[in-house]
Amino acid sequence: MSIPYLSLLTFLCWKDYERRLNLIRADIRLREERNEIAANLRLVQQLKNQQDHDYYLTSQLIKPFAVNSAAPDSRLQIEFFTKQKKEFEFRNEKLAIGGDLSMAHNLNFPGRKMTIIVNADAMGKSIQGAGGCLVFGAVFRAIVDRVSPQEHCEPDEWLRQMVIELQKIFETFECSMLISAFFFLIDNATGEFYSISAEHPRAVIYRTGRASFLPMQHRLLKLGMPEFDADFKINRGRLSMGDALIIGSDGRDDLLQENLTSGGSRIDTDAEKFLRTVERGAGEPIKIAREITDSGEISDDLSLVRIAYRPGKGRDAVRPAIALRTARDLATAGNTDEAENLLAQLSEMLLGRSAALAGLKLALQIHAFSLAAVFAEKLAELGCGDTLALYWSAHAHFYLGQKDRAMDELRRALPHDPQPRIREIPQLHAAA
């Protein structure tokens, strides 16, 4: 009886031993696998740190180029907005890297102060696109810094030679590094401009609350393409007072949208949609970018440039008329703030009687009474004896709280007006 019992006990002990041994072996294998996984994770983290370090160094190299170096000018306002697709963190600092680049610099041609603005999009994203930006920015900056426009060199010819030099540099990469770009050279005083599009999305004119594409008769292929015509033509035009030019990379159009039919997503490339986006964003880069992100997921780098033209003193005789017409259109469209800004610039110009009186009436219409008073002063300086102008001036000062001055102007006007027109200003009529 004892022998079977001992045999069974021995068998059970052996099985228990095997089970424990297998557990020990499994634990050893698990520890080895954990150590291997940990080692692999450390390797991955190390590689990621090295990659982020490379991203960081490249982003720091690009940073000096991605700036608006144009000197402040009350006539020309330039704004940049850039959001690169690839974002990373390095040393607790959130950064981004990509292939979009915007730059602006002043150029002094004989008798003309001009500004060159460029919006470029290098092929590829993250490090590849950043490499193209680095080359483009370095070459562009070298051309601007090295080449001073000579007296015999016209602005359009200077622009042509710059693009040709950039093309020669990118040709050497044999299509492995291509650049789409929009070049815009503008005369700060007159608004006259020269533009070149190297397969870049169409620029948009934002005027009196409406957006439309800038007419472009001539376009180039991307810089770096072998089929390059050095005799290309340059587009010319002129910005009017109050115009804003919006330039953007193709990230503005390439939006991922949910496909309700298939359940996946699709890229919406409707270029016309951007016009409506500019209008909803009132021509402001940050607002436009917000409207873009609200309508879909951005699938590429996005950069926007806004160039607003608002000349100050000393413009030619046509400018006041353009300013008045634009301000009236803005007021009619309900954009009273922009209309008031234009009137403020108009008040600094040399004006004739009709322009000053028209500015006074429009200022009163949008309740910009302080500006109306300025235009009234201009009428007085011009020695105008128009009694209606004195009445409107009294109107402005009345609403500014200067009732004594308003009544003085009324008393000055009445003796010279056999048929008093005070009834044309009901508020003053009641006060009198």
The residue from 309, 326, 342 where one domain ends is 309
pLDDT in tens, 99-152: 999 999 998 887 778 899 999 999 887 888 888 999 999 999 988 887 665 555
pLDDT in tens, 159-188: 999 999 999 999 998 888 999 999 999 988
Indicate if 145 and 230 belong to the same structural domain.
yes
Q: Which SS3 state, helix, strand or coil, does residue 401 take?
A: coil
pLDDT for res 2: 64
pLDDT for res 152: 59
pLDDT in tens, 325-350: 888 888 887 777 778 877 877 776 76
Q: Say if residues 80 and 285 touch (Cβ distance below 8 Å).
A: yes
The two structure tokens encoding residue 70 = 């144009």
Indicate if 166 and 217 belong to the same structural domain.
yes
Q: What is the DSSP letter of 68?
A: B
Q: In angstroms, how far apart are the furthest CA atoms of the chain?
A: 146
C-alpha distances (whole Å) from 341 to each of 79, 238, 317, 347 are: 18, 21, 19, 10
Q: What's the mean pLDDT when you consider all of the chain?
A: 80
Indicate if 51 and 75 belong to the same structural domain.
no
Which CATH number do you get for residue 115?
3.60.40.10
Indicate if 265 and 182 belong to the same structural domain.
yes
Q: Is 63 exposed, middle or buried (0-12, 13-18, 19+ CB in 10 A)?
A: exposed
Q: What is the DSSP letter of 157?
A: H
Domain that holds residue 122: 65-309
Indicate if 257 and 378 belong to the same structural domain.
no
Q: Is the confidence at residue 199, as pLDDT, over 80?
A: yes
Indicate if 232 and 358 belong to the same structural domain.
no
Indicate if 190 and 284 belong to the same structural domain.
yes
Total structural domains within the chain: 3
CA atoms within 13 A on the CB side of 93: 10
Indicate if 92 and 224 belong to the same structural domain.
yes
pLDDT in tens, 411-422: 766 655 544 554
Q: Which of 82-86, 233-237, 357-361 has the lowest mean pLDDT?
A: 357-361
Indicate if 207 and 300 belong to the same structural domain.
yes
User: What whole-number percentage of the chain has pLDDT above 70?
Assistant: 80
Indicate if 223 and 261 belong to the same structural domain.
yes
pLDDT in tens, 238-292: 888 778 999 999 888 877 766 545 555 566 666 688 999 999 998 999 999 999 8
Do strands 179-187 and 210-213 pair parallel, antiparallel, or not at all (unpaired)? unpaired
Q: Which of 42-56, 133-147, 321-335, 377-391 has the lowest mean pLDDT?
A: 377-391
Indicate if 140 and 113 belong to the same structural domain.
yes
The residue from 286, 309, 332 where one domain ends is 309
pLDDT in tens, 201-229: 999 999 888 899 998 888 899 999 988 88
